[in-house]
Structure 1
Amino acid sequence: MDISFKKNLKCTDKEIILNWNDIDKLIECICRKIKIKLENVLKEYEIIAITNGGIIPATIISYSLGINIINLFPIINKKIIHEKMPFFDKTKRYLLIDEIYDTGKTFKKTSRCLKLINHLDIFLVKRYNTNSSNNQIYGKILDDHRWVVFPWEKTVIN
């Protein structure tokens, strides 16, 4: 991701407002990284989308990578809905997709549930540069405290 990306973002005092062009750039960057990391085994992967914010990015990434199966990881208002949890096959490989790595709370909850399956964590953006494992791919580190608004969300009117 080039350095001009952050300069071109629409921002207010309280928000970073991403548009669809920003999302396209982030997904292009992520897909390039995924293809490099998984080049020979990519066709073996399925997608798991976090339902709070990962469904739209997961769908776009699935089209970009040619992955047809998207599973939903049911989270509503930051709570896992265990009775809606699908079965994840321990012999398969997954891309776990969410829109943002913010505080890490959602990530920690999902990781506990998915600790026995082989998955790679994908985020459009990370709020801050945290210790990342080799098992994470992201489009951009924002290094900014402001609320991130994605184009599929409503902006807060000040």
Structure 2
Amino acid sequence: MVERNSEPSVQDRAGRPFPVSWDQFHRDCRALTWRLNEVGPFHAVIAITRGGLVPAAIVARELGLRVIDTVCVASYDHDKQGDLKVLKGISEQTAKLGGGTGKGLLIVDDLVDTGKTGRLVRELLPDAHFATVYAKPQGRPLVDTYITEVSQDTWIFFPWDTALSFQPPIRDGAA
């Protein structure tokens, strides 16, 4: 198992790779929206940047929501997790839509991993509905709705983080 506080190489992270194509990610976001449609209605979508931007856009489109805001939290430096930093909170206008506690607001992220970011956002908006496309066991209890659970030691390769390249056959040593 690779800990994100160390600096794993791509080969280390590939121990349990979970590559996600654009098509698969879009299907998973639509599946998430089907579940959220039964829970709403929502006044606004709040994307946790940066990973939540793409799923929030898809969910907002599918739910017909026009108000999209962001909460900008930095915790990853492409391959390691560090201290959390809120770079931008939600706007005052969006906060008012949620009555100051987040009621009727939908928070969207691509993944809940250890739950550190989720806990921070929950503190900001305790009554908001928190949805992610993917969930790992440590963070899953913080999420109200998700689509796919993966093991804690899985590294998800999102389509915006990858490029098409040749992959050697498994028998030749590929993970």
Distance verdict in 2 for CA 1:93–1:57, change over 3 Å: same
- TM-score normalised over the length of structure 2: 0.69
Q: 2:29 corresponds to which letter in structure 1?
A: I
Q: 1:154 corresponds to which letter in structure 2?
A: T
Distance 1:25 1:144 in 2: 23
Alignment length (residue pairs): 139
Given candidates 84, 87, 112, the residue that maps to 1:81 is: 87
SS at match of 2:161: coil
Q: Which residue is 2:124 aligned to?
A: 113
**Residue pair 1:50, 1:97 contacting (<8 A) in 2 also:** yes
Q: 1:76 corresponds to which letter in structure 2?
A: A
The answer as to 2:69 corresponding to 1:71 is yes
Q: Which residue is 2:157 aligned to?
A: 149
Q: Which residue is 2:171 aligned to?
A: none
**Shift in Å, 1:130:** 5.9
Q: Which residue is 1:97 aligned to?
A: 108
**Residue pair 1:129, 1:141 contacting (<8 A) in 2 also:** no
Structure 1 residue runs of 4 or more that deviate by more than 3 Å after TM superposition: 129-133
**Shift in Å, 1:152:** 1.2
**Residue pair 1:74, 1:80 contacting (<8 A) in 2 also:** yes
Q: Which residue is 2:168 aligned to?
A: none
Query: Which has the larger Rg?
Result: 2
**Shift in Å, 1:31:** 1.0
Distance 1:131 1:61 in 2: 20
**Shift in Å, 1:76:** 2.6
**Residue pair 2:45, 2:60 contacting (<8 A) in 1 also:** yes
Q: CA RMSD in A?
A: 2.6
**Shift in Å, 1:52:** 2.6
Q: 1:66 corresponds to which letter in structure 2?
A: G
**Residue pair 2:14, 2:155 contacting (<8 A) in 1 also:** no
SS at match of 1:128: coil
Distance 1:21 1:85 in 2: 30
Q: Which residue is 2:44 aligned to?
A: 46
SS at match of 2:141: coil
Given candidates 27, 35, 38, the residue that maps to 1:36 is: 38
Q: 2:45 corresponds to which letter in structure 1?
A: I
- Unaligned regions of 5+ residues in structure 2, if any? 1-12, 76-83, 166-173
Percent identity between matched residues is 20
- TM-score normalised over the length of structure 1: 0.76
Q: 2:85 corresponds to which letter in structure 1?
A: K
